[in-house]
Structure 1
């Protein structure tokens, strides 16, 4: 069986699907690994390193895509890349199936078996394959670093000959994987940290990291399938904003991480809240490419509002390509282990809940009901 690693074409995408160390382990298992020339360069993994690991480097992308039994990517394929895929072949990567169901339809029309890393079930058994979590962890860490770099004051409390400098106050909105890592990183840098999440069950996790949990009582279910935050009613959103206004105004840094898969991100920080923040304060909106948690944020840009810097970084994991690629490669390797027999043959077992959950297209059909619903909405059905 031939497994191929594609070179990423998306703007600012520096990650690679497999790193040489993981390739070497797969080769020892009897798998044939092909790498598109230059695939790992932006992540500082040269073609020579892949060759030393036992992979074959191929310059012709058409040949690589066309001959692959399993093609591994990070970002979704570009429109002109879909035609390179072999009919009946397997594509694995981040495919954004709920945000871009039209792409999934194209893959289905091509009769490609597509497994989306976003759709891997959030179960104990699937933890080693949970690429959303591995990448969100990096995003949360990096969000704090860019906030601290742009804040015109220290994070920690310092006692100097000139007097004591008070620590920065940081508010994290959303206590998923990214939010929890942001809390831990901000605490390591010495900031006073508060955190909010509509899911009350994460309170203990927030407190265990040394942050104060902002309580907002909502009289409705706030947890969706898989443990994600659920989209809440307008009344609940208004109640949340009323409580958060005071905490946002008192913060030097606000980091927002709240996203709902396949839907516009909820607005947690309004323009009125921003207006009440101190000049020099910083907001990092990790949901800017899904519409933003902060009014006025723009995906990929830093904007100024009333002296407040609102940052809308895109794809932060790609800014740390070495470790982002390393953990993603381990996620893919764990998933491949479920799909490949000891003899190196493909075994796509749809009775396995992980394979069933991750597979969005197979045999010319869209298998995921959630993707079908998203596609129906997209075409106005």
Structure 2
């Protein structure tokens, strides 16, 4: 079977769905990798590296003729025309925000797997693209915020006097938030963080941060995400956050829930109460924003001298590292679809990981969250 790795064509996307290491692994399990020329350019992987690993270099059309196609982001309109019946498509397909495209996969007769729908289980950790990419994004968010900050993060004691450490506040202690906490601590900042999930307080403190806020009863969902807060809970959380923001130098917000608009946590009134020179970094800007006034891919400066940075495909800006992890996630998942004895495709819908990610099969939308209403 041929496995195709096209060049990503969405604006700003530099990652690629395979690495030379995973190409070697695909060859070892009996697959024939076909990589589009130039696919790895944005991730600092030259064509020669893919070829040396055993891949066939080809043009766009030839890559899309493969039995299995691996993608980072969902196909653009031009690529949708290449889909053919019986083909397998695997990638971060963003189905909640693109339900019409899910139906198009069904009409094309392909089996489409959305990696962000992977159940959050121990067995799935090696395939969890959300976690691997969020980990890097949390690091990059803190680094970018620090680059905009006009002072320094660590305490510095010199003959001329002492520079006090920056105060960094992380909103949301998921994978991205925890990495942002760890990065800020390594840089010498005084770090605080908040989250509404019960496990968050212990996780924050384990990294040297101080927990701020309160934890509502039953705040975490089965999938490990935070449930929507009640109006009363939202008010209490906002009061705590608003008071804490006044003394902060850098704030990174990470709160996102798949399939829903990002919760608004920091209002314009809260921003107005912050110190001049403070930096706000909104990692959820593309999904609605945690911070009022944040714009994806832009830096906005308020009247009181606070900068609001809106993330846009943040992890793509560290594509070489992100590609290594993403490609390995796909490799681990794809091995579930290959019979180890016959080396043939075997889509076992009784497997919870396969069932949880499978959007379409045999001309129908099969995922419960996207089936047309009866």
Q: Smaller-chain TM-score range?
A: over 0.9
Give the 5 Å matches for 1:87-126.
87-126=85-124
Contact 2:220 2:226 in 1 (8 A): yes
Q: Is the aligned partner of 1:282 residue 2:241?
A: no
Q: Offset at 1:235?
A: 2.4
Q: Offset at 1:257?
A: 0.2
Q: Offset at 1:166?
A: 0.6
Q: What residue ranges of structure 1 are gaps of 5+ in the alignment?
A: none
Give the 5 Å matches for 1:194-213.
194-213=192-211
Contact 2:22 2:331 in 1 (8 A): yes
Aligned-partner SS, 2:320 = helix
- CA distance in 1 between counterparts of 2:319 and 2:207 reads 26
Partner of 1:57: 57
Q: Offset at 1:26?
A: 1.4
Q: Offset at 1:54?
A: 0.7
Q: Is the aligned partner of 1:229 residue 2:226?
A: yes
Contact 1:231 1:260 in 2 (8 A): no
- CA distance in 1 between counterparts of 2:265 and 2:281 reads 12
How many residues end up aligned between the 2 structures? 372
- CA distance in 1 between counterparts of 2:298 and 2:231 reads 28
Q: Offset at 1:371?
A: 2.6
Q: Offset at 1:217?
A: 4.2
Contact 2:172 2:255 in 1 (8 A): yes
TM-score w.r.t. length of structure 1 = 0.95
Q: Offset at 1:328?
A: 0.5
Partner of 1:268: 265
- CA distance in 1 between counterparts of 2:253 and 2:332 reads 30
Q: Offset at 1:62?
A: 1.9
Contact 1:99 1:261 in 2 (8 A): no
- CA distance in 1 between counterparts of 2:136 and 2:253 reads 15
- CA distance in 2 between counterparts of 1:105 and 1:30 reads 31
Give the 5 Å matches for 1:289-368.
289-305=286-302, 306-342=304-340, 343-368=342-367
Contact 1:68 1:86 in 2 (8 A): no
- CA distance in 2 between counterparts of 1:364 and 1:223 reads 36
- CA distance in 1 between counterparts of 2:215 and 2:176 reads 23
What do residues 107-166 of structure 1 show as CA deviations (whole Å, max 9, x unaligned)?
A: 111111100010111100010000000000010000010011000110001101111111
Aligned-partner SS, 1:250 = coil
Partner of 1:190: 188
Q: Offset at 1:221?
A: 2.7
- CA distance in 2 between counterparts of 1:216 and 1:285 reads 21
Q: What residue ranges of structure 2 are gaps of 5+ in the alignment?
A: none
Partner of 1:15: 15
Aligned-partner SS, 2:240 = helix
Match of 1:138 among 122, 126, 136: 136
Q: Offset at 1:283?
A: 0.4
- CA distance in 1 between counterparts of 2:194 and 2:349 reads 38
What do residues 5-46 of structure 1 show as CA deviations (whole Å, max 9, x unaligned)?
A: 011001110000000111012112221110111111111111
Q: Which runs of 4+ in 1 moved over 3 A?
A: none
Between 1:76-85 and 1:137-146, the stretch displaced more is 76-85
- CA distance in 2 between counterparts of 1:116 and 1:225 reads 19
Aligned-partner SS, 2:281 = strand
Partner of 1:148: 146
Contact 2:14 2:319 in 1 (8 A): yes
- CA distance in 2 between counterparts of 1:83 and 1:345 reads 26
Aligned-partner SS, 2:73 = coil
Q: Offset at 1:233?
A: 2.1
- CA distance in 1 between counterparts of 2:338 and 2:186 reads 41
Q: Is the aligned partner of 1:164 residue 2:156?
A: no
Match of 1:239 among 226, 236, 239: 236
Partner of 1:177: 175
Contact 2:213 2:237 in 1 (8 A): no
